[in-house]
Amino acid sequence: MKCMGTLVVLIGLVVATARAEDFWEKPHDSWAQSDVLKMLEDSPWSGKVTITDERAGLGDADTAGETELAHSYTVRLFTALPVRQAYVRMFQLMNRYDAMAPAEKAEFDGNFAPALREFPDEVIVNLDFETNDRQTALEVDRRLKQSTAAQLRQSAYLVSDRLGRIELTDYFPPAPDGTGAKFVYPRIVDGQPIVGPEDLEVKFELWVPGTGHRVHQVWRVARLMLDDRPAF
């Protein structure tokens, strides 16, 4: 019986630890910088797709001697509230929000309130890119800044379990605010939500212009649940 009691205590500790890791259930203005980074890079709402090229004898001064080039695409469900809360918290930390007087905090909160609004009609996916190949970095940056929704419509899809490929409706190039390129999709198609609790996955597919890279990000709908509905 003593062993059984110990086992129950250990299980309780494991469950408590797992719950403690769900920092996004706490107010976002209490998140640590590590929480912000995790939300934006490796969370239920974000993921990183890395594509590697094997090369040798490169002539570029920045990559000379490299035997492997790594191209990393970070993909996020930007309209998911926890992702936008992470961006707001990042700006809070950059501006020493925690040390502000109440009146300063109120002004800051008012300025950033629009970033936390609802998106009832749209689902937005945002994309960041980094690489150790300067030439590819310049090319991808140029292509993403010059591309239009019409040009990307046949190469950038949100994929629903029930409805298949969802066509792009709008596109915004990488912005100075650091939130990356944004791909916009309708939230409702033919009267149906593109993602619901009954779905298993939602995917993003992008053939990156000018590179031959295929970005394929999968989100598990069960992990996107907040307040008993998918947050996306």
Provide the pLDDT for residue 65. Answer: 54
pLDDT, residue 157, reads 96
pLDDT tens per residue across span 109-131:
999 999 999 999 999 999 999 99
pLDDT of residue 53: 81
Report the pLDDT value the prediction gives residue 10, as an integer from 0 to 100: 42
Question: Which residue matches tokens 């709402």?
Answer: 45
DSSP state of 25: G
Instruction: Give the strand pairing for 188-189 and 192-193.
Output: antiparallel
pLDDT number for residue 32: 96
pLDDT at residue 20 in the model = 52
Which pLDDT value is given to residue 75? 97
**What pLDDT, on a 0 to 100 scale, did the predictor assign at position 47?**
95
Query: What b/e sequence results for 136-161 when a residue is b if at least 16 CB atoms lie within 10 Å of its CB, and e otherwise?
Result: beebbeebbeebeeeebeeebbbbbe
Whole-model pTM: value is: 0.85
pLDDT at residue 4, rounded to an integer: 45
Low-confidence ranges of the chain (pLDDT < 50): 3-19, 57-59, 61, 63
Q: Can you point out the beta strands (E) in 85-142?
A: 122-131
pLDDT at 68: 84
| Residue 76 near residue 232 (C-beta atoms within 8 A) | no
